[in-house]
A and B are shown apart, each in its own frame.
Chain A
Amino acid sequence: MRTICFYFQVHQPFRLKRYKFFNIGNDHYYYNDFENRNIMRKVAEKCYLPANQTFLDIINEYGDKVKIAFSISGTAFDQFELYAPDVLESFKRLVDTGCVEILSETYSHSLSALKSKEEFIRQVNLHKEKVKKHFGVTPQVFRNTELIYSDYIGEMVADMGYKAILTEGAKHILGWKSPNYVYCNAINPKLKVLLKNFKLSDDIAFRFSNQAWDQFPLTTEKFVSWLNAIDPREETINLFMDYETFGEHQWKETGIFKFLRALPNAVFKYSNYTFSTPTEVIANTVPVAAIHVEHPISWADEERDLTAWLGNELQDDAFNKLYALEEQVKKLNNPDILKDWLYLQTSDHFYYMCTKWFSDGDVHKYFNPYDSPYEAYVNFMNVLNDFMLRLREFSR
C-alpha cells in the first residue's frame, strides 16, 4: 500500500520591538505587540482560517480517508490565545475529526537541541502540556525546529519515548537512497525516521505559482501523475511544508486552495495512494535501514544545514551569550524570567542575523523585520543585555 503523509508546520515568533541602548535597564518589555498582533491577524485571515476550513470540507467529504498532521509551536499557541482564539477553535474542530495528528516540538521553536539537553527536554515537555491542554491529545511523533536532526538528537528524542521523528530528505545524507521509505535512527533503531520528499513538497510550497517554472501551472492531475511515476516499491511520500504555504506564501489568487481542495479527489481517482498520519505510517511499514546523520541537517536553504541560524560571528555570539545564562535562569525559577528566556530562544531571532544573502536571500528577506542582519543582532543584544541585568538584579 502506498501512502501520502502530509505534515504542516504552524509557527509564529514573538518579534522583538525596536529596543535601543537607552532602554537597557529601564524597559523590561521586549515584544512588538502591534506587529505580532497584526501579522497574526493577517496570517489568520489569509491562511489559517481558510486553510483549516478547506481541510474541514475535505474531511467532511471523504471522512477518515484523508489524514494530515500539524506541528504547532508553543509561541504560535500563545499568540492564538492572545490574538486569534478563532484559529485555535478551528484547529480543535480539525483535531476532533480524528483525522488529524498533532506532533511534538520545542515550546519556543528553539535551537535548544543543539546546545542543552536539559533545556530541550524541558521545552518539549512544556509543549506537550500545551497540546494536551488545548486538544486533549498526547503526541507520539516528534518534529524538531526546522526539521533539524542528527543521530544524537534522534537518540534524545527516542529516550523521551517518541516512536518517530520527521526530518529533511537531504541529498547529502541520502546519496543514492530514496526518501520514500521509513528509516530508523542510527543509535536507537526503535526511533523511526520519516524523510521529507523535498522535490514534491517544494513543487507545492515554493514553485506552485512560479510562472518561470517549466511545469507551471501545477494541476492536481499533473501532481498525481508524478506520484504514479515513482517506483511502486517506494511506499511513503512525505510532503512536509509550512502551513503558511496556503494563502500566505502562495496567495489565494494563485489557486492554491482550489488545488488543495481538489487533490484528494485526483489522488483517489487516478492512483492507488492513500493518506496517512505519521503514526499510521510507522505502524504499517518496516524500516528499510538506519540513516546516519552525524552532523545536524535541516530543511532550510540549498545547503540543508544550520547556517541560516548559526555560523557567522553575530549568530554565534548571540547564541552563546544566551545559553550561557541557562544555569542562572533555572536557579532563579522566576515566571517572568522563564517566559522571556523561552521567547528569546526562538530560532527566528538568529535567522534574522543571517548574512548569506545570495542563494536563498529572497526567502530570508521576505520574513525579516530588520533592514540588515547587523540591526537584528544589535537589537537582540540590547534586549539580552537588559535580560542579563534583570537576572543579576533578581539574583541579589
Chain B
Amino acid sequence: MFGWEFPPHIAGGLGTACYGLTKGLNKFGTEIIFVVPKAFGDEDQSHVKIQDAGNVIITEKSTDYAEFWDNFKYLEVGVNLIPYMSPEEYARIFESKIFSHSEIKEKVLSSKFSFSGTYGPDLLTEVARYAIVGGYLAKQNNFDVIHAHDWLTYPAGVAAKQISGKPLVVHMHATEYDRSGENINQQVYDIERAGMEAADKVIAVSNRTRNIVIERYGIPAEKVVTVYNSVEPISLPEEFRVTKGFDEKIVTFLGRITFQKGPEYFIEAAYKVLQKDRNVRFVMAGSGDMLNRMIRRVAALGISDRFHFTGFLKGMEVYEMFSISDVYVMPSVSEPFGISPLEAMASDVPVIVSKQSGVAEILKHALKVDFWDVDDMADAIYGLLHYEGLSKMFKRYGKQEVENLRWENSAFNVLEVYKSVVKN
C-alpha cells in the first residue's frame, strides 16, 4: 500500500483514513506493507508494516529508472499542487530554495534519497523518487495487490504494477476539482487520470467523487467502486472537557479556511442568525488562505462580539472544541467525503453538512443544506439551537449512527475490490 502520510504525522484527513482502513483490513487477516516517504518510528505498527522509502537503497543501475524520471521532468510546482497545506507551510515553501532541474535529477537517481515526507517545494522530486522506490520494492517483496492512495502515490503504484504484473487499485480521496474548483492544475489532473487508467479498479470515497471520476476523467463506470470512509471510535477522558466561560451556545466551523470549505457561507449564515438571536456565539477554527478575508468580513459586519477565531487547533484541542460546541457546520463547496462531521457526531454535537459533500450521502441524522443557501443554513442553525426535540434526537441517533460506521465495514468493501481484481 502506498500512502503519503500515516498517523501521527499527518497534515489532513488522508493519513487518518489510511490508518483506519489498514486497521480494518488487518481484522480480516490482510497483511499490509505500507510505504511512506518518511517514517518517523513512532507510527502504530501493530497491524501494518511501515516501510520507509528513504531507507531503501537502490543498487540497480540508475538508467533502469530513468524512464520514470522522464515522466516527471516537466512538472513544476504550481499553486494548487500541494493538497493539504496550511498558510504557514505555504509561506515556508516559497521562501525556501527551489532546486535546479539537474540538481533534482541527480538527487532522484542517487542510490539513497532523503524524503521529507511533507508537501514541500521538493514535492515532485519526492514523488518521482517515491515512484522509483515503489518499482524497486515491487521487485523485492511478495504480495497480491497494490493499493495507492491519492495522486502523489499513483506513479509509484503504476511502477510497481509494471514491474510485478500484480493488479493495481487506486483510491481517490479527493480529486483535483475538489481542491481547485474549475481552475485545475493540468499536470496533477494528468497524473490522476493516468493512475486511474492504469489501475484495475478505482475506489472513490463517495458517489459524488465516483461521478466526478466517471464524468471528468472519463473512467469507465464499471471500474469505479464507492467505498465510504468511516471514523475511529473516540472516547474523551474527562480532563479534556474544557469549561466554557460563558452561557451562550456555540456554533462551530472547523477545517481549513479555504475556498473548498466554504467559510464565507458560514459567516453570512451567522450574521443572519445573530439578527434574530444574540444569545449564541460562532467559532471559526482553523487556518488557511482565506482566514484574513474572513476576519475582515466579520469586522465589517460588526459581529466580532459574537464571532470568534481560534486559529489552527492541534490534537486534543479539536475535541475540546467539540466538547463545548452545540452545533457543527460543514458548509463545504466541494467535499469528496468529510470525516469531521462524523467526529463531531461522535462527540455528541448535532451537525449540518452541505449537500455538496460525500458524507451527506450516508448520514441520516444530520441536516443537509446547499452550501450557497445561507438562508437555509441560518434556518438550520436556528432550529438546532432552539428546538430541543431536534437537537436531542440528533445527538442520540447521530452518535449511534456514527458508531455503526466501522472501518471494518469500509475494509470489507475494499477487500471485495481486491478479490475482484485478483480473480481477473
Residues of A with Cβ closer than 8 Å to B?
A: 20-27, 313-314, 316-318, 320-321, 372, 374, 377-378, 381-382, 384-386, 388-389
From the candidates B245, B292, B299, B310, name the one contacting A372 in the complex (CB within 8 A).
Answer: B292
Residues of B with Cβ closer than 8 Å to A?
A: 242-246, 283, 291-292, 295-296, 299-300, 302, 304-305, 308-311, 320
CB distance from A181 to the nearest CB of B (A): 42
From the candidates A24, A317, A321, name the one contacting B308 in the complex (CB within 8 A).
Answer: A24
Nearest B residue to A23, CB-CB: B245
Q: Which residues of A contact B302 (CB under 8 A)?
A: 317, 320-321
- Contacts A381-B308, A384-B305 aside, 9 further interface pairs with beta carbons under 8 A come to A23-B245, A25-B246, A318-B304, A321-B305, A372-B292, A378-B295, A381-B305, A388-B305, A389-B246
From the candidates A23, A25, A381, name the one contacting B304 in the complex (CB within 8 A).
Answer: A381
Q: Which residues of B contact A23 (CB under 8 A)?
A: 245
Q: Which residues of B contact A22 (CB under 8 A)?
A: 242, 310, 320
The interface residues of chain B, by DSSP majority, are classed as mixed
From the candidates B245, B246, B283, B300, name the one contacting A317 in the complex (CB within 8 A).
Answer: B300
Nearest B residue to A324, CB-CB: B305
CB distance from A342 to the nearest CB of B (A): 20
Q: Which residues of B contact A385 (CB under 8 A)?
A: 304-305, 308
Q: How far is the CA of A313 from the CA of B298 in the complex (A)?
A: 9
Q: Is the CB of B310 within 8 A of A374?
A: no
Q: Is the CB of A21 within 8 A of B304?
A: no
Q: Is the CB of B310 within 8 A of A317?
A: no
CB distance from B296 to the nearest CB of A (A): 5
From the candidates B245, B283, B309, name the one contacting A26 in the complex (CB within 8 A).
Answer: B245
Q: Total number of A-B contacts with CB less than 8 angstroms?
A: 60
CB distance from A4 to the nearest CB of B (A): 44
Pick from B246, B296, B299 the residue with the most CB of A within 10 Å.
B299
From the candidates B243, B244, B295, B305, name the one contacting A374 in the complex (CB within 8 A).
Answer: B295
Q: How far is the CA of A30 from the CA of B296 in the complex (A)?
A: 23
From the candidates B245, B291, B295, name the one contacting A24 in the complex (CB within 8 A).
Answer: B245
Nearest A residue to B250, CB-CB: A21
Q: How far is the CA of A388 from the CA of B308 in the complex (A)?
A: 14
Q: Give 25 CB contacts A-B under 8 Å.
A: A20-B311, A21-B309, A22-B320, A24-B308, A25-B245, A313-B296, A313-B300, A314-B296, A317-B304, A318-B304, A321-B302, A321-B305, A374-B291, A374-B292, A378-B295, A378-B308, A378-B309, A378-B311, A381-B305, A382-B308, A385-B305, A385-B308, A388-B305, A389-B245, A389-B246
Q: Is the CB of B299 within 8 A of A313?
A: yes
From the candidates B291, B292, B296, B308, name the one contacting A21 in the complex (CB within 8 A).
Answer: B308
Q: Is the CB of A317 within 8 A of B292?
A: no
Q: Which residues of B contact A382 (CB under 8 A)?
A: 308
Q: Which residues of B contact A26 (CB under 8 A)?
A: 243, 245
Q: Is the CB of A25 within 8 A of B295?
A: no
Q: Is the CB of A21 within 8 A of B299?
A: no
Q: Which residues of B contact A313 (CB under 8 A)?
A: 296, 299-300
CB distance from B218 to the nearest CB of A (A): 43
CB distance from A22 to the nearest CB of B (A): 6
Q: Which residues of A contact B283 (CB under 8 A)?
A: 21
Q: Which residues of A contact B299 (CB under 8 A)?
A: 313-314, 316-318, 377
Q: Which residues of B contact A318 (CB under 8 A)?
A: 299, 304
Q: Is the CB of B295 within 8 A of A377?
A: yes
Question: In the complex where A314-B299, A377-B299, A381-B304 touch, is A24 in contact with B246 (Cβ < 8 A)?
Answer: yes
CB distance from B39 to the nearest CB of A (A): 33
Nearest B residue to A382, CB-CB: B308
Q: How far is the CA of A384 from the CA of B242 in the complex (A)?
A: 21
CB distance from A196 to the nearest CB of B (A): 33
Nearest B residue to A28, CB-CB: B245
CB distance from B140 to the nearest CB of A (A): 47
Q: Which residues of B contact A389 (CB under 8 A)?
A: 245-246
From the candidates A25, A317, A372, A381, name the one contacting B244 in the complex (CB within 8 A).
Answer: A25
Q: How far is the CA of A314 from the CA of B298 in the complex (A)?
A: 9
CB distance from B301 to the nearest CB of A (A): 9
Q: How far is the CA of A227 from the CA of B310 in the complex (A)?
A: 54
Nearest A residue to B293, CB-CB: A374
Q: Which residues of A contact B242 (CB under 8 A)?
A: 22
Nearest A residue to B245, CB-CB: A25
Nearest B residue to A380, CB-CB: B304
CB distance from A357 to the nearest CB of B (A): 13
Q: How far is the CA of A23 from the CA of B244 in the complex (A)?
A: 9
Q: Is the CB of A314 within 8 A of B295?
A: yes
Nearest A residue to B294, CB-CB: A374
CB distance from A24 to the nearest CB of B (A): 5
Q: How far is the CA of A27 from the CA of B246 in the complex (A)?
A: 11
Query: What 7 pairs across the A-B complex have the smallest Cβ distances?
Result: A25-B245, A317-B299, A26-B245, A313-B299, A25-B246, A313-B300, A21-B310
Q: How far is the CA of A167 from the CA of B311 in the complex (A)?
A: 40
Nearest B residue to A314, CB-CB: B299
Q: Which residues of A contact B300 (CB under 8 A)?
A: 313, 317
CB distance from B92 to the nearest CB of A (A): 13
From the candidates A314, A320, A374, A386, name the one contacting B245 in the complex (CB within 8 A).
Answer: A386
Nearest B residue to A353, CB-CB: B299
Q: How far is the CA of A25 from the CA of B291 in the complex (A)?
A: 24
Nearest A residue to B302, CB-CB: A317
Q: How far is the CA of A25 from the CA of B311 in the complex (A)?
A: 18
Nearest A residue to B244, CB-CB: A25
Pick from B243, B244, B296, B304 the residue with the most CB of A within 10 Å.
B304
Q: How far is the CA of A389 from the CA of B292 in the complex (A)?
A: 26
CB distance from B8 to the nearest CB of A (A): 23
Q: How far is the CA of A256 from the CA of B263 in the complex (A)?
A: 52
Q: How far is the CA of A374 from the CA of B299 in the complex (A)?
A: 10
Q: Which residues of B contact A20 (CB under 8 A)?
A: 310-311
Nearest A residue to B309, CB-CB: A378
Q: Which residues of B contact A384 (CB under 8 A)?
A: 305
CB distance from A10 to the nearest CB of B (A): 32
Q: How far is the CA of A305 from the CA of B302 in the complex (A)?
A: 24
CB distance from A18 to the nearest CB of B (A): 10
Q: How far is the CA of A384 from the CA of B306 in the complex (A)?
A: 11
Q: How far is the CA of A126 from the CA of B246 in the complex (A)?
A: 33
Q: How far is the CA of A21 from the CA of B169 in the complex (A)?
A: 44
Q: Which residues of A contact B305 (CB under 8 A)?
A: 321, 381, 384-385, 388
Q: How far is the CA of A389 from the CA of B246 in the complex (A)?
A: 7
CB distance from A98 to the nearest CB of B (A): 50
Nearest B residue to A18, CB-CB: B311
Q: Which residues of B contact A21 (CB under 8 A)?
A: 283, 308-310
Q: How far is the CA of A321 from the CA of B309 in the complex (A)?
A: 17
Nearest A residue to B88, CB-CB: A371
Q: How far is the CA of A321 from the CA of B295 in the complex (A)?
A: 15
CB distance from A116 to the nearest CB of B (A): 19
Q: How far is the CA of A22 from the CA of B242 in the complex (A)?
A: 8
Q: Which residues of A contact B291 (CB under 8 A)?
A: 374
CB distance from A364 to the nearest CB of B (A): 16
Q: How far is the CA of A386 from the CA of B234 in the complex (A)?
A: 31
Q: How far is the CA of A385 from the CA of B304 in the complex (A)?
A: 8
Q: Is the CB of A321 within 8 A of B245?
A: no
Nearest B residue to A388, CB-CB: B305
Nearest B residue to A384, CB-CB: B305
